[in-house]
Amino acid sequence: MDNNKQKTIGQLVGVIDHTFNITNDKDEKVQVAVKIDFRTASNSDIKTWLTSNRIIAGQRPWRALSAAELKALDGMTFIAQNIGQKVRSRAEQVNDLKSTFMKSGIEEKKAEQLAITAIDNPDLLTVKESE
């Protein structure tokens, strides 16, 4: 019988050893080693802590986005380990794609139009089958 089916997330995580540095208000830096016992934490607690950690990690790169770009995040699904990585703005994505198109020989104005379409309306792009 698999005992893991009956255990909470906290029981599976158990006790974690963690060492960190901290600087107090007197500017004294100290390294501290602690143990954190998750065994009595509910599944809900663990999920809340995990989510809070990932949101805090995401706030730094998200602050660089415009209000419209932030609103576009609404409803998106993020891979937990990718949150906190730099988020490229729409303008950066268009510029990068435009450069790629231009390197393949497409003139600048057309490359920009293609890049905007690819970012904003990718379903409008079609691929012509070679004969």
The pLDDT tens digits for 20-79 are 999 999 999 999 999 999 999 999 999 999 999 999 999 988 998 889 889 988 888 888
In this prediction, residue 1 carries a pLDDT of 46
- CA distances 106 to 95, 101, 110, 123, 130, Å, are 14, 6, 7, 20, 19
Residue 92 pLDDT exceeds 70: yes
In this prediction, residue 45 carries a pLDDT of 96
- In 1-131, the DSSP E strands lie at 15-23, 29-37
In this prediction, residue 3 carries a pLDDT of 57
Residue 86 pLDDT exceeds 90: no
Cα distance between residue 19 and residue 45, in whole Å: 22
Phi, psi of 84 (to 5 degrees): 105, -15
Cα distance between residue 80 and residue 54, in whole Å: 7
